[in-house]
Amino acid sequence: MARMKFLCDAERCIECNGCVTACKNEHEVPWGVNRRRVVTLDDGKPGEKSISVACMHCTDAPCQAVCPVDCFNTTDDGIVLHDKSLCIGCGYCFYACPFGAPQYPQQSSFGARGKMDKCTFCAGGPDEVDLSDAEYEKYGRNRIAEGKLPLCAEMCSTRALIAGDGDEVADIYRERVLRRGGRPQTWGWETAYTEG
């Protein structure tokens, strides 16, 4: 079974925020929540890089490990989904996630913030796929059930943001690094490319 993953190529990202806008528009994400955001490293300095960040749908998700009500589950595709009907808004997942993916929909006093929201890899909610208006209102559009990839990756004009089967994503990135003159041994690929 495929493990769905995101990867952002920092050499290609131009900080246009097209992925952020596509996500907000596609899912009608509430005000104050950015399921995806662009982060710039070394802003204004030589070597400045930008990367698009969202939930990385970790294999061993820290958000899932700390949730006291088990509202996170991982699909057979490796997509980490969050059940808003079980969520109590405690915020443990927010603190556990190294990417800052789970977010409160509004900024107010603790206890009045509501349930967490996070990237769904455009796979809707954790319940059985029903493509209903209720699912859309709660989690956004289910593009995976429609046989499509997440819109943020499809809308990336420079193809910096790649999404899909983790092995295919890794192969695409590996080829890019090699075409740019990167050294495969830097990434631990020396056995695959030095033999034969």
On average, the pLDDT of the chain sits at 86
pLDDT at 182: 62
Per-residue confidence at 138, pLDDT binned at 50, 70, 90? Answer: confident
Residues 6+ apart with CB under 8 A from 72: 61, 63, 64, 80, 81, 82, 83, 93
Measure CA 73 to chain center: 15
Per-residue pLDDT tens digits for 22-75: 999 998 887 778 899 999 999 888 889 999 999 999 989 999 999 999 999 999
Q: Which amino acid is at 100?
A: G
Going along the chain from its start, the domains and CATH numbers come out as 4-169 (3.30.70.20)
